[in-house]
């Protein structure tokens, strides 16, 4: 999974400004929570010279879309590259480590979340959690879907996910018992292998990837049911299992799930010089947000 440029932002200003204001959405997870997008399929947005961190190059994320729709403040702890292991220990990006420590005196994203919730009891309406994609994505490439690697990653994810959710639920029960904890399953960016490299080999890899993603999503669904937390069905929103009808993308005909992956992510650049990137575009992030929106009652 190619991730670059950590992003950490408070659209409501410094932490102190959140207290006494509207209810807050706390976004946790990886680059999807952060809203990472490449500017041309390969590079992160330019950094703000005053802070050294990404400027306004990330125009959207699913969390930003939800907060706008619900009239909430957003406190976003998402860190590009974060895995279930790094969420519990050393963050995936040095910039995330620096900001968690500076803003909250925390050494990990999960610790930062706990401190934020402790400091803002009664202020949080929703906590969104997306984690796990980076645990398994490195097992899939344009030339191979490594089943053994995926199986090992899923075992490690299960252990870490239990720890993450247990701690979040315990903290919310103490600090914000009315807050909703909502997690998500995943779209399959590697369906786009049917587009590039394409052909029979690309189609085979896309099929194998989808089998792996469906199995991982089944695991996440079981975990969500076990802990009694809501699951945003992002896979359904991206129609990952809809192979028909065949539709046109870039002058060629593809199964619907492949074409939609191309339309909602940066995986299928039309220019041959551009690099594929697994992240959603603006429309893709809005699509993820819509999956969360179906689960949330109005807050106004």
**For 133-186, what is each residue's pLDDT tens digit?**
999 999 999 899 999 999 999 999 999 999 999 999 999 999 999 999 999 999
Count each helix (H run) and each strand (E run) in the chain, helices first: 11, 10
- The yes-or-no verdict on residue 6 having pLDDT over 90 is no
Residue-level pLDDT at 91 = 95
Contact 259, 249 (CB under 8 A): yes
**Burial status of residue 206 (CB atoms within 10 A of its CB: 0-12, 13-18, 19 or more):** buried
Write down the residue that tokens 């949330």 correspond to: 296
Torsion of CA 276, 95, 75, 62, to 10 degrees: 0
| Rounded Cα gap, residues 157 and 222, in angstroms | 13
CA-to-CA dists, residue 177 to 14, 111, 236, 269, 278, angstroms: 24, 19, 29, 45, 35
Q: What percent of the chain is predicted at pLDDT more than 90? A: 72
| Predicted TM-score (pTM) of this structure | 0.87
Average pLDDT of the segment spanning 249-275 = 91
Q: Give the mean pLDDT of the chain.
A: 86
Residues facing residue 129 across a β-bridge: 28, 183
- Gyration radius of the chain over CA positions: 19
Express each pLDDT in 63-97 by its tens digit.
Answer: 989 998 998 998 999 999 999 999 999 999 998 99
| Burial label, 215 (beta-carbon count in 10 A; 0-12, 13-18, 19+) | middle
How far apart are the C-alpha atoms of 139 and 134, rounded to whole Å?
9
- The dihedrals phi and psi of 245, each to the nearest 5 degrees, come to -80, 170
Q: What are phi and psi for residue 10, nearest 5 degrees?
A: -120, 105
Domain spans of the chain, in order of start: 9-293
Q: Flag whether pLDDT at 19 surpasses 80.
A: no
Angstrom distance (rounded) from CA 67 to CA 36: 17
What is the distance of C-alpha 251 from the center of its chain?
30
What span, in angstroms and rounded, lies between the C-alpha atoms of 294 and 200?
37
Q: Which carries the bigger pLDDT value, residue 219 or residue 40?
A: 219
Q: Could you give the 3-state DSSP secondary structure of residue 116? A: helix
Residue appearing with tokens 């619907």: 256
Judge whether residue 54 has pLDDT over 90: no
- Tokens linked to 130: 């997306």
CA 20/CA 27 separation, integer angstroms: 19
pLDDT of residue 20: 52
CB atoms within 10 A of CB 219: 17
pLDDT at 293 over 90: yes
Give the domain 9-293 fold.
Rossmann fold (3.40.50)
In whole angstroms, what is the distance from residue 163 CA to residue 207 CA?
A: 32
Query: 247 in the Ramachandran plot: left (φ > 0), alpha (ψ -120 to 50) or beta?
Result: beta
For residue 22, pLDDT over 90 is answered with no
Average pLDDT over every residue of 112-140: 96
Helices 282-293 and 256-264 pack at an angle, to 10 degrees, of 110
């Amino acid at each position: 999974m190619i991730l670059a440029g950590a992003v950490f932002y408070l659209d409501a200003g410094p932490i102190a400004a959140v207290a006494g204001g509207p209810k807050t959405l706390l976004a946790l997870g990886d680059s999807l929570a952060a809203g990472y997008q490449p500017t041309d399929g390969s590079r992160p947005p330019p950094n703000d010279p005053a802070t050294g961190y990404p400027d306004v190059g990330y125009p959207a994320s699913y969390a930003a879309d939800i907060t706008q729709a619900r009239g909430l403040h957003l406190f976003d702890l998402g860190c590009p590259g974060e895995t279930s292991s790094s969420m519990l220990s050393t963050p995936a990006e040095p910039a995330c480590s620096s900001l968690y420590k500076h803003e909250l005196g925390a050494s990990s994203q999960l610790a930062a979340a706990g401190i934020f919730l402790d400091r803002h009891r009664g202020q949080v309406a929703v906590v969104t959690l997306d984690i796990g994609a980076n645990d398994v994505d490195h097992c899939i490439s344009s030339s191979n879907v490594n089943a053994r690697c995926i199986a090992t990653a899923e075992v490690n994810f299960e252990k870490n996910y239990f720890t993450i959710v247990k701690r979040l639920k315990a903290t919310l029960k103490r600090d914000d018992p009315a807050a909703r904890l909502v997690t998500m399953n995943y779209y399959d960016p590697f369906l786009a292998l049917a587009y590039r490299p394409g052909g029979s080999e690309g189609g085979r890899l896309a099929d194998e990837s989808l089998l792996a993603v469906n199995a991982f999503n089944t695991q996440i669904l079981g975990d969500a049911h076990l802990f009694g937390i809501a699951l945003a069905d992002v896979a359904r929103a991206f129609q990952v299992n809809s192979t028909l009808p065949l539709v046109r993308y870039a002058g060629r005909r593809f199964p619907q799930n492949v074409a939609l992956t191309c339309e909602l992510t940066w995986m299928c650049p039309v220019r041959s010089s551009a690099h594929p990137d697994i992240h959603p575009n603006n429309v893709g992030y809005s699509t993820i947000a819509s999956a969360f929106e179906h689960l949330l009652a109005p807050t106004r």
